[in-house]
Structure 1
């Protein structure tokens, strides 16, 4: 593991965000999304920054690949679809529910052992069908159930207690925290509780990008490589049918990417290039176009990213504008 100094602790302050996306209607900027963006190169150096990349923030579910690495390091015997599901914010499709049950069954557990919050499925169509059938919120349907099942499985296989697996002092969560610090290369700035009930560790946007790069570039057979391979090969298990995360991984060869609530996205390529994005107001409509612009800034071919340019704004039922990354995010001109 890398050594960490106190100086590597993210700064706890109000983030100094900058404009990252414009809502342009009829050629006029109608609204502005603020946020922060970091692009790191193959050598790990920062190649581009916008806003505040060193302030402490909550990565939310964008940290799930790191949590999955921690569990694999602790002996979680998953690969393929089920390991992708362990790092997922899933849509609540039947394959996600069935996969979560399979993870639990590996340790002789059931859905009754889950301690995440009950919820309806994340995908709107799946959620509507669920409600029409008279079904109620459940822990299995909640989008983090795959991660929680994997946490329980890891704890059971290590002989750790199960009822308190979400306690930050639990051996499982201590292992997760150590992995967060190892992969981000910095101290955790704070610990709180994520929406699902699991501990949530505050890092910097820069640290999140570093962690993604570490996972995306790891050698064969490592915990990091197992997680990256699982998510790349089974992106719909890490998200869902029609989700932008899965579409982005399928569009860009070798890309590893994960979203998080409140406008977070991280992405990394096998050569170590990585980007991380935080939209200050949590707006999902700015998250993907800004991420695509950051990837283009990192050198991803623009033709691979044309489907992620941002939603159109309608007027009278016809397009009159769009959500656009700010000009500062335009790709650098190619050298002649």
Structure 2
């Protein structure tokens, strides 16, 4: 799908697509063992002020990159714009989810499919085991194998099918980038990020994945977080804030972060991507270059500290222990350059 083939809604004309280049990432996290820096994670970070201006940046926030599942809240807005029928907040939260495969996640995905008069067989995402290790172990003990419903993106796919059924669009090829549904989603991505789409590829679940910049993705997060109640953006934000365990899972770090910071909207993505935004428009975006999930949350906590969030609230997220011989011997934390006071 070329950029010129995308028909945009009348909300906002996007700017130019971000440049495709090798990102100029910088050190953003240190792995310290026994007082020595044992490892370094590179990446890029952007912090937006309430007025949308860039308050802090590190690395390359303008290069094209793939947001992975951090884009799901934007896609959820796109589904509402495309005609997704009204859903309760739990179901709408699951539409934006990378869920753990818990029974409440599967039951909610089934409800969305039921609304379309469909079952799991209609899904075209990749069969997988539940994402959460404990849930996965129990799944295997029960003799169950990979399932499309258990795969972490099944809520989004179920909503895609419900939208297509509502609009009387074809169902079998709903993942084709040229499908009317995917063209509408691309238009929403361009609108909310404020920029054109640099590339279209296939995400891990099989859905089209749109390349934007880290700056553009963070701008979109801020637009959702500040949206008025009742708007499509506001409905998605409200559902995610109300049911963070539906967006991720019980005990997952993103759910705990949303619960810890009042009004926060947050979503993670594979390959070390994280967005978080506050109701006043302050927002952060993080990309860990090597895709290491272990560095994602400590770097996000450092970025949120630059938004004025209480360090005590962020303390459980700001560092991860480095283990030696079964005991902590160091920490993984953001580099001094990212912390508000350079400590």
TM-score interval (norm. to shorter): over 0.9
User: 1:285·1:310 contact (CA, 8 Å) conserved in 2?
Assistant: no
**Which residue number in structure 1 is paired with residue 51 of structure 2?**
43
Aligned length: 331
Which residue pairs with 1:15 in the alignment?
A: 23
Q: Secondary structure at the match of 2:107?
A: helix
Shift of 1:332: 4.5
Q: TM-score, normalised by structure 1?
A: 0.97
Residue 125 of structure 1 aligns with which residue? 134
Q: Which residue of 1 aligns with 2:336?
A: 327
Query: Could you tell me how far 1:133 is from its partner in structure 2?
Result: 1.1
SS in 2 for 1:99: helix
**Aligned residue for 1:96?**
105
How far did 1:318 drift? Answer: 2.0
Residues in 2 aligned to 1:267 and 1:16: alpha-carbon distance in whole angstroms: 22
Looking at structure 1, the residues matched to 101 and 215 of structure 2 have their Cα atoms a distance apart, in angstroms, of: 31
2:80 is equivalent to residue 72 of structure 1: yes
Q: Give the CA deviation at 1:309.
A: 1.6
Look up the match of 2:6.
none
Matched, 1:226 2:235: yes
1:183 paired to 2:186: no
Q: Given the alignment of the two structures, is residue 112 of structure 1 paired with residue 93 of structure 2, yes or no?
A: no
- Matching residue within 260, 269, 273 for 2:269: 260
Q: Hey, what does 2:293 align to over in structure 1?
A: 284
What are the residue-to-residue correspondences of 1:134-283 with 2, within 5 Å?
A: 134-283=143-292
**Are 1:62 and 2:85 counterparts?**
no
Deviations 1:244-274 (A, max 9, x none): 0100000000000000000000010000000
CA RMSD between the two structures: 0.9
Helix, strand or coil for the counterpart of 1:219?
A: coil
Corresponding position of 2:310: 301
CA shift at 1:317, angstroms?
A: 2.2
Determine which of 9, 30, 34 is the counterpart of 2:42.
34
Report the CA distance between 1:237 and its aligned residue. Answer: 0.3
Contact 1:104 1:150 in 2 (8 A): yes
Deviation at 1:300, TM superposition (A): 1.3
> What is the alpha-carbon distance in structure 2 between the residues aligned to residue 222 and residue 136 of structure 1?
40
After TM superposition, the runs of 4+ consecutive aligned structure 1 residues lying more than 6 A away are: none
Instruction: Write out per-residue CA displacement over residues 18-47 of structure 1, whole angstroms, 9 at most, x where no aligned residue.
Output: 000000112111110000000000000000
CA distance in 1, matches of 2:241, 2:13: 29
CA distance in 2: counterparts of 1:314 and 1:88, whole angstroms: 31
- Tell me the TM-score normalized by structure 2: 0.95
Ranges in structure 2 where 5+ consecutive residues have no aligned partner: 1-10
- 1:186 CA drift (Å): 0.3
Cα shift readout 1:152-190 (whole Å, capped 9, x = no counterpart): 001111111100100011111011000000000000000
1:284-304 alpha-carbon deviations (Å, 9 max, x no partner) = 110000001100012111111
Q: Distance between the aligned counterparts of 1:132 and 1:306, measured in 2?
A: 36
Alignment gaps of 5+ in structure 1: none
